Structure 1
């Protein structure tokens, strides 16, 4: 279970709340930097259209939820019958998040 800032959400509910055309299902994979860029852009477009429906509507709560989900992600993977990928490039993601604080 993912405990959001305001309520507990099951992994099934998280998957049912799809984000644009680029929704990730338990079987989805992002295989390249370009696919990740496309997914983030679709996520942004979904926020512009439907941000009022998002649980975390401001940057502070979004970043807190991001950190909480990443910490709890082994449980999410276990709940959907998948293994947490050990080959993820966590440094790339951290640098991308940091760069977004100053990049125009």
Structure 2
């Protein structure tokens, strides 16, 4: 059974290693497959476009949520991109 993500986890997952990122992505897959998380971008192309658009717009996301824009990408930011690409339009 997959644990439901809290809002803070979905906004800013705490991912500190390659292994944690892999577990995060696999848990995301389980949530999507079970219907617990919507998937707006069901094709690979749509998912990649959504990821690119979110990355481009991410400074607004960070500002709207009272967060600092990361200077350099880290494992948590990569996890955020995977989360966002599921639902970003």
Q: TM-score, normalised on structure 2? A: 0.63
| Match in the other structure for 1:13 | none
| Match in the other structure for 1:21 | 4
**3-state SS of paired residue (1:84):** coil
Q: Which fold has the larger relative contact order, with Cα–Cα distance below 8 Å and residues 6 or more apart in sequence?
A: 2
**Structure 2 regions of 5+ residues with no counterpart?**
79-89
Runs of at least 4 residues off by over 4 Å: none
More helix by share: 2
Residue of structure 1 aligned with 2:45, choices 46, 51, 60? 60
Matches within 5 A, 1:1-104: 21-22=4-5, 24-50=9-35, 53-89=38-74
- 1:62 positional shift: 0.9
**Structure 1 regions of 5+ residues with no counterpart?**
1-19, 94-104
Tell me the number of residue pairs that the alignment of Structure 1 and Structure 2 aligns.
73
Task: Please identify, of 80-89 and 69-78, the stretch whose mean Cα deviation from structure 2 is larger.
Answer: 80-89
- 1:84 positional shift: 1.4
